[in-house]
Structures are given as C-alpha cells and as structure tokens.
C-alpha cells in the first residue's frame, strides 16, 4: 500500500518514533555520524522556517524512512490523546510531511480544533475548525476564570 494520507493515534506514532530513534542512536561510525548530522540539520532548518525537506539529506537518509510508509504520504494526522512536540518534530523531518494535530469529542460530532499544515509550532491542537465556536466559562469551584492569564 502507498497511502497519501496517514491518520493515526499518538500511541502508534510513539512506537514509530521509538523504532526510528533506536536506529539513529544505534548506528555507529560514519553511518551514525551522518544520521545524527542529517537529523540535526533538518530539525534546525525546520525550526528556522526552511521547510521539511533537504536537498541532500532526503536523498541519502530520509527517503529510506519515507519508504516505511510507502513513500507517498503527503500529510499525517494525529488526535485522541496528547503527543510530545519533540516526537512530532522528529516524525515531520523523517517523513518530510506536516503532521496535523487535532482535538474533538466523538460525543459532540468529531473534530473541533486542528493545527495547520504550515504551523511550525508543535504541541498544541490549533484553533477551531470551520463552523465551530468555542467559549470559555468560569468555574469558581475549580478556580478557573476567563480573566486569568492564561484563561
């Protein structure tokens, strides 16, 4: 199979992250040095706004990682539970695709918020999706107030 969309839960993404990290950490010699240099360079480029691709490292290192998912994935989606930002960033650079993180409740009709594909900040679920309104409410018994900073 060669999917173009890869929706999954954080538990599976964490397992993939663990396997890929183990390969990077276990690599020795020139291969280990190259893998670590490639990961560091791509993370640095990504965090500085230069995108998820690298002309050299993608051909040498990351095309092999992309092949694990079939090589055609254009977007990955995660929801159902929180996922660590460093896991998201690592997977983004390994698979050279954005990962959209969302939040919603099945009981209320599904997705309510979603990050954007061009959002470089990981670790949040983004803003409300179209046709969804979100309101904050004071809960004095829990000491949650909309006037607090952050609310």
pLDDT at 141 exceeding the cut of 80: yes
Instruction: Taking residues 120-134, report their average pLDDT.
Output: 87
Each residue's pLDDT tens digit, 56-79: 999 999 999 999 899 999 999 998
Instruction: Taking residues 125-144, report their average pLDDT.
Output: 89
Q: Which residue, chain included where needed, has tokens 């020139």?
A: 30
Residue extents of the structural domains in the chain:
5-128
Phi-psi category of residue 51: left, alpha or beta, with phi > 0 → left and psi -120 to 50 → alpha: left
Each residue's pLDDT tens digit, 142-151: 999 999 988 7
Rounded to two decimals, what is the model's pTM?
0.85
């Amino acid at each position: 199979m060669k999917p173009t969309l890869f929706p999954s839960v954080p538990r599976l993404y964490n397992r993939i992250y663990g396997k890929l990290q183990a390969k990077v950490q276990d690599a020795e010699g020139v291969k280990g040095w190259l893998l670590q240099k490639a990961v560091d360079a791509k993370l640095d480029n990504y965090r500085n706004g230069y995108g998820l691709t690298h002309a050299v490292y993608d051909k040498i290192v990351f095309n092999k990682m992309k092949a694990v998912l079939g090589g055609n994935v254009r977007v990955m989606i995660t929801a159902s539970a929180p996922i660590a930002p460093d896991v998201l960033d690592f997977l983004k650079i390994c698979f050279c695709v954005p990962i959209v993180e969302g939040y919603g409740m099945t009981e209320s009709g599904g997705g309510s918020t979603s990050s954007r594909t061009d959002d470089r900040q990981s670790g949040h679920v983004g803003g409300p999706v179209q046709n969804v309104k979100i309101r904050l409410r004071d809960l004095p018994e829990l000491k949650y107030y909309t006037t607090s900073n952050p609310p």
